[in-house]
């Protein structure tokens, strides 16, 4: 049955007894039992069912509520069915002109709960599909229950009437607790993350001349910022939004069109990756982190592109290095699994967050036998030959990490 999780335990509570008076169709009995099962009502009595009992049609319509149908109690008269009730409620859409209290389902459920808690037995009468309850049957009840429905179309079918009463009773028993809730949101985004995203968004909007005319630029920026601050975004939200902006930008400046990320854009991406690195990454952010890492791989900076082309073409290194490839949960810029060397490019003006992330990654790699070489991006662009010669010397000598040299290597 759709929506039912058989691995979960149902609620076991003593509730009112549902009493169906001379029901005509087995399908209606089965659907009433199904409605009872939805709200943990288990006691069903039937007075003189027209088509006899047991009833195959009722079993089919019950949709899994067999535990209720198996324990049905049959009676020949209403008097016999209600004889042990200490509180009897009669459901009806008509006034019957009887001088007794008329209550809504909520009030009836509240009174039933109190009576059951005191050890009483509560019965709820439901009448025939066509004619409802007779006057003399309503006269037996302590209270009349009527539903607030459209006066011009007040008729409910049997299962609907049972369901509404079951729902009101169940809300009281469970304190209206819902079966599930929205998963906890990730941690609230920091101002640093918000600013990094907004700076990147504005940079991309400037490239397509969105923020014009110039005299309206400041107002447009305030409006844009307010859109995102009103959201109260989480860290995960910021990663997703940042990925969206970068993916849109990639269509214009991706490798297929010869474009590259500039140093500032790469720095912002690395800052976001560093904040959600292996020390702080959560399961729900891992896919976004991988997506940002793919953006770095597909959109290398000038220094990355230059160094990568040289590593693939120079005979001293050809075939030995991979770019933006995971080593465990870390992703160095370049790695040689054969030589056990990891190369990290250092861009100008990197933040403390990026530096700490690189240091942690370097320590993790060193513990596993990798030599970590840090190369200044500026050195690659200024004197590539010297950088490559220095790397070749290190590979031949099998050196570990060292101080910054004249070739820009650390």
pLDDT tens-digit map of 346-376 = 888 777 878 888 888 889 999 988 999 999 9
In the prediction, which pLDDT does 78 show?
A: 95
Least confident stretch, 2-16, 258-272, 348-362: 258-272
Q: Which two tokens stand for residue 153?
A: 């179309």
| pLDDT band at residue 130 under the 50/70/90 scheme | confident
Instruction: For each of the domains in the chain, give its residue range(s) and CATH number, in order of start.
Output: 17-174 (3.40.1280.10), 182-299 (no CATH), 300-410 (3.40.960.10)
The string of pLDDT tens digits covering residues 42-56 is 999 999 999 888 889
Of the given ranges (37-51, 116-130, 238-252, 320-334), which has the lowest mean pLDDT?
238-252
* Residue showing tokens 């599909």: 129
User: Mean pLDDT in the chain?
Assistant: 82
> Phi and psi for 307 in degrees, rounded to 5?
-65, -40
- The alpha-helical segments, DSSP class H, found in 21-99 are 26-38, 56-61, 66-69, 78-82
- For residue 237, count other CB atoms closer than 10 A to its CB: 19
Average of per-residue pLDDT across 184-207: 83
Percent of the chain with pLDDT over 70: 80
Q: Distance between CA atoms of 17 and 122, rounded to whole angstroms?
A: 6
pLDDT for residue 400:
44
User: Which stretches within 232-331 are classed as H helix?
Assistant: 235-253, 263-275, 286-298, 302-313
CA angle 68, 74, 75 (to 5 degrees): 145
Q: What is the pTM of this model?
A: 0.50
Instruction: Specify the pLDDT at position 257.
Output: 44
Of 173, 161, 85, 97, nearest in space to 129 by CA: 161
User: Of 66-80, 161-175, 306-320, which gets the smallest average pLDDT?
Assistant: 306-320
Position 266 confidence tier, pLDDT thresholds 50, 70, 90:
low
Residue 96, beta-bridge partner list? none
With cut-offs at 50, 70 and 90, classify the pLDDT of residue 173: confident
Assess whether pLDDT exceeds 90 at residue 72.
yes
Q: Which residues contact 294 (CB under 8 A, 6 or more apart)?
A: 324
Q: Are 94 and 65 in contact (CB under 8 A)?
A: no
**Cα 259 to chain centroid, rounded:** 36
Residue 164 has pLDDT above 80, yes or no: yes
> What share of the chain in percent tops pLDDT 90?
32
CA distance 106 to 92: 15
What would the mean pLDDT of 155-174 be, rounded to a whole number? Answer: 91
- The pLDDT-based confidence of 145 (bands split at 50, 70, 90) is very high
pLDDT in tens, 16-39: 999 999 999 999 999 999 999 999
Question: What does residue 262 show for φ and ψ, rounded to 5 degrees?
Answer: -80, 170
């Amino acid at each position: 049955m759709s929506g039912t999780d058989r691995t979960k335990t149902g609620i076991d509570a003593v509730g009112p007894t549902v009493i169906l008076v001379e029901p005509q169709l087995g399908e209606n009995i089965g659907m009433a039992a199904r409605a009872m099962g939805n709200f943990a009502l288990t006691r069903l009595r039937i007075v003189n069912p027209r088509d006899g009992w047991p009833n195959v049609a009722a079993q089919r319509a019950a949709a899994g509520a067999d535990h209720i149908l198996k324990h049905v109690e049959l009676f020949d008269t209403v008097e016999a069915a209600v004889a042990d009730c200490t509180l009897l409620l009669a459901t009806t859409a008509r006034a019957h002109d009887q001088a007794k209290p008329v209550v809504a389902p909520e009030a009836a459920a509240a009174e039933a709960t109190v009576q059951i808690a005191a050890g009483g037995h509560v019965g709820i009468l439901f009448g025939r599909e066509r004619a409802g309850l007779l006057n003399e049957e309503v006269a037996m009840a302590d209270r009349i229950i009527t539903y607030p429905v459209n006066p011009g179309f007040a008729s409910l079918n049997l299962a609907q009437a049972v369901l509404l009463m079951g729902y009101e009773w169940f809300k009281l028993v469970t304190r209206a607790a819902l079966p599930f809730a929205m998963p906890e949101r990730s941690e609230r985004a920091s101002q640093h993350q918000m600013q990094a995203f907004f700076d990147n968004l504005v940079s991309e909007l400037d490239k397509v001349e969105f923020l014009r005319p110039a005299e309206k630029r400041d107002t447009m920026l305030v409006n844009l910022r307010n859109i995102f601050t009103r959201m109260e975004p989480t860290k995960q939200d910021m990663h997703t939004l940042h990925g969206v902006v970068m993916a849109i930008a990639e269509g214009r400046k991706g490798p297929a069109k010869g474009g590259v990320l500039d140093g500032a854009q790469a720095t912002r991406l690395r800052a976001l990756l560093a904040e959600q690195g292996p020390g702080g990454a959560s399961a729900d952010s891992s896919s976004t982190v991988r997506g940002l890492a793919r953006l770095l791989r597909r959109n290398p900076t000038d220094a990355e592109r230059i160094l990568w082309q040289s590593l693939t073409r120079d005979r001293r290194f050809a075939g030995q290095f991979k770019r933006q490839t995971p080593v465990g949960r870390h992703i160095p810029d370049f790695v040689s699994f054969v030589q056990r060397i990891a190369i990290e490019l250092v861009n100008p003006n990197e933040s403390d967050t990026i530096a700490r992330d690189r240091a942690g990654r370097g320590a993790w790699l060193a513990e596993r036998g990798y030599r970590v070489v840090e190369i200044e991006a500026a050195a690659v662009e200024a004197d590539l030959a010297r950088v490559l010669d220095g790397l070749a010397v290190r590979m031949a000598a099998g050196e570990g990490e060292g101080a910054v040299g004249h070739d820009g290597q650390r």
